[in-house]
Amino acid sequence: MKLPPITERSVDWEPIACVGWEGHQRGVDKLQASFPETGRVRLKKKTSNLFRKRKSGGAGLDVSGLGGVIAVDPVAKTADVQGMCTYEDLVDATLPFGLAPLVVPQLKTITLGGAVSGMGVESTSFRNGLPHESVIEMDVLIGTGEIVTCSRTENVELFRAFPNSYGSLGYAVRLTIELEAVPEFIELNHVRFSDLRDYEAALARAAESGEWDGRAIYGLDGVAFSKDEQYLVLAFRAESAPGVSDYTRQQIYYRSIQHPHGTKHDYLTIRDYIWRWDTDWFWCSRALGAQHPTARKLWPRELRRSSFYWKLVGLDKKYDLEYRFLKKPKGLARTERVVQDIEVTDGRLAEFLDWFFDASSIQPVWLCPIRLRSGVEELAGAGIDAAEPWPLYPLKPGTTWVNVGFWSGVPADHVSPAQEPGAFNKVIEAKVSDLGGHKSLYSEAFYSREQFAALYGGELPQQMKRTYDPDGRFPGLYEKAVENA
């Protein structure tokens, strides 16, 4: 069994040099030279944050020259970024200017192109929406091998349909995005609740008003450990701090949130706030032993990061380690993986959590409110429907949606009587649909084609493929999300 190599990227800040426009063009040329004349194609990349299986096959496109930041404009507060650039590198390139992307997904190796073509949320999503909403312009490699520029005024139909298309329409090669000024420090208030309805109401008020006790909120998310223990995590801008915590060492961030009652205060640097969840992959590192006090002392600090944990999960998937060495010797059933992010409106959150904590022993869960940016109405003049600006993931403007993330598993016979693979995931899908919600497609999905079409754009994905991928060089959205193409 080959162990994963140690990553070369530190958990700390590193200087990032921009590749420039000539360097970008060399990467584009390399990509297009690798595009074959016939057959299915896919990206040839070493990392992934997808939790669904993918069938092998198809020529791998060479994206090795498309992983950098092209240029940062600190005056206009924009950046031109290559599609395979990780958010870790992007943040390290912009923070020296006191700037950051409007939404930075929680894990360092998520790429900008991946977040825009998929689904990325974070604590600024209650005021800045989703990553694709701060995109000004994109160059997209489409199924003909051409690169098409789309924006709020050019090839608008592709610009609107690209989010949540997961590579079924093409791949982002270059993106021009908005940046915002960020503070040097973040003050955190962890506010405890013991009632799901009270918690739901407080989160809804904070997300809609953008304020807490008269202060403007910078970031807003939360954690629910049970029906009796929930926390709002309120982040406020701070230009100074009496001292800062460091959760890249012995302390564990999500455990720091817990306290008996009232509000607990904490301070972080802006970079440590942005990556507060990455060090322990939220709380998933506990399943890998990284949170045991003795193991943590011996665990190299540079390997306390989601990218390394992902490699360990890959080993488990390849060699069936958990079942062979932990489950089978004790006569226990295999584990059904339950790794999902779902969205329900703020008025259905308590109902979902009440059901979820009864239906499984999975805890804690992450909660992140999302409100599409108020500026989407301004796009109507460019042909973008303000009532449904992003049709493949139709969250309605003016509504607070709450992302609920849970990443664990249940015994394979958890649903009684035992059903086919994915039994409990199917129960979750049905419950979320009953509540008028959706789920992200980065993980396993089990919808029928009819159910999928009702939730994710109807006939639009097929219509778009006839224009931008007429020969079917990329798998379709349903093929990717449900059939694991």
Q: Tens digit of pLDDT for each residue in 140-159?
A: 999 999 999 999 899 999 99
DSSP β-ladder status, 59-62 and 41-44 = parallel
Q: Give me the torsion for CA of 164, 169, 175, 181, rounded to 10°.
A: -10
Cα(5)–Cα(277) distance, integer angstroms: 22
The number of residues in the chain equals 485
> Cα 190 from chain centroid?
22
In the chain, what are the domains?
A: 20-181 (3.30.465.10)
Q: Tens digit of pLDDT for each residue in 363-390?
A: 999 999 999 986 555 555 555 666 778 9
User: Within 13 Å of residue 243, how many CA atoms lie on the same side as its CB?
Assistant: 3
Q: What are phi and psi of 418, to 5 degrees?
A: -55, 140
pLDDT of amino acid 10:
84
Number of other CB atoms surrounding residue 484 within 10 Å:
14
- DSSP, collapsed to helix, strand or coil, labels residue 264 as strand
pLDDT of amino acid 7:
54
Q: Which residues of the chain carry a pLDDT beneath 50? A: none
Which amino acid, one-letter code, is at 235?
A
pLDDT of amino acid 465:
97
Residue 425, both tokens: 């995931």
Give the CA angle between residues 351, 355, 360 to the nearest 5°.
150
pLDDT of amino acid 179:
98
pTM of the model: 0.94
Residue 210, both tokens: 């953008």
pLDDT of amino acid 317:
81
Distances (CA, A) of 227 to 256, 321, 349, 351, 415: 19, 33, 12, 11, 22
Cα(103)–Cα(133) distance, integer angstroms: 9
